[in-house]
Amino acid sequence: MNTTPRITIIGAGPGGLTCARILQQHGITATVYDHETGPDARNQGGTLDLHEDNGQIALREAGLLEEFFQLSRPEGQEMRQLDPAGTILFHHTPEEGERFKPEIDRGQLRDLLLGSLQPGTVRWGHTLQAVDGPAEGPRQLRFTDGTTIEADLVIGADGAWSKVRRAVSPAAPQYSGVSFLEAWFHDVESQHPDVAELVGQGGAAAADGERGLFAQRNSGDHIRVYIIQRVPADWITAHGLTLQDTDGIRSILLAQYRDWSPRLRQLITNNDGLYVDRPLYALPVPHTWEHNPTVTLLGDAAHLMPPLGVGVNLAMLDACELALAIANNNTIDDAIHAYEKTMLPRSHQMQKLLDHGAEELLSTELPDFATDDTH
């Protein structure tokens, strides 16, 4: 850079933190702002797999790949596909040393990235209200607490409902027609041994074309189950219920899954605590915007897609490529041009591939990687 730019990243998720880390690896300062009050403000969600051809590339550039391997669970690559009767149709068991996409809890990944940053990099409790100022900069970022800062580059890593996106695009996420209801199981080896045996060390999925279940082993003896339905986004309130009405929701689910085996039905009835409602949204396909010399996006802010195992991986690859573009170009404008030249075509291709992909979560077809040597 010909000058020292003021770089602001909105969002302290894996994408935003990866970008900040790689910038710091190249001696470039960036400040991350996040609306949460602190790193432990909420549960960060379930487990995810980081792929060798995207997420792991970013971690290698960040100098964190070996630490990731120490934390990750390669056994989590195990995958089972069942039919509604509970019969196993496909079973993948990872080979010894297989590292293509080991699992890690989202909270562990964020802690790894946070711990790698210089003190004071992340400013908690800052909810962005708007990005103002001329396109050529400097930009003014207004926060809901009344504070304002100036930046030469604003990076939107603030997820599905990005406030930064509004500075470059009018697009808004649209409901996919498919919704997740999340159920948690704790101390599974002692309290839910049948669920633990059913799910194994990785994930187990079943679907009948209209509804599905996906159960996933997390660290710390936990399992999360995603109850997948084609329903209106407000289906719970439409039944006159709230998320606190566990028995009422459970009654509806039992009716919906009445033809499924009792062994699979326990994944929707024996959970610990309340259900969590997660309707699935996606951005229009393709999502693009006019080049802006002071604002760009990464991850879900740029290309929100159905949750089919690519979201965090693409966000981290975006972050890696953007940070390297900033490090290797003379101006912020040149860096954004270089970054978007590769990011936008890649995200467009993936968006098209996964368009209406939420429906695939209900499909009875076996995964593409199922082969004759399954066991």
Query: Is 110 in contact with 14 (CB distance < 8 Å)?
Result: yes
**42 annotated ligand-binding residue:** yes
Q: Would strands 79-82 and 88-92 be described as parallel, antiparallel, or unpaired?
A: antiparallel
Does the annotation list 194 as a binding residue? no
131, 163 Cβ separation under 8 angstroms:
yes
Structure tokens at 274: 């309340």
**Angstrom distances, CA of residue 269 to CA of 231, 252, 264, 266:** 19, 11, 10, 5
Query: How many alpha carbons fall within 13 Å on the CB side of residue 372?
Result: 0
As a whole number of angstroms, the distance between CA 261 and CA 57 comes to: 41
How many C-beta atoms surround the C-beta of residue 189 within 10 A? 10
CA–CA distance, 147 with 174 (Å, rounded to integer) = 31
What distance in Å separates the CA atoms of residue 87 and residue 206, rounded to the nearest whole number? 9
Q: At what angle do helices 14-25 and 106-116 cross, to 10 degrees?
A: 30
Dist. CA 45–CA 47, nearest whole Å = 7
Pairing of strands 30-33, 122-123: parallel
Is 355 annotated to bind a ligand? Reply is no
Query: Does the annotation place 277 within a ligand binding site?
Result: no
List the binding residues for FAD. Answer: 49, 106, 300
**Residue list for the binding site for NADPH:** 42
Binding residues: 42, 49, 106, 300
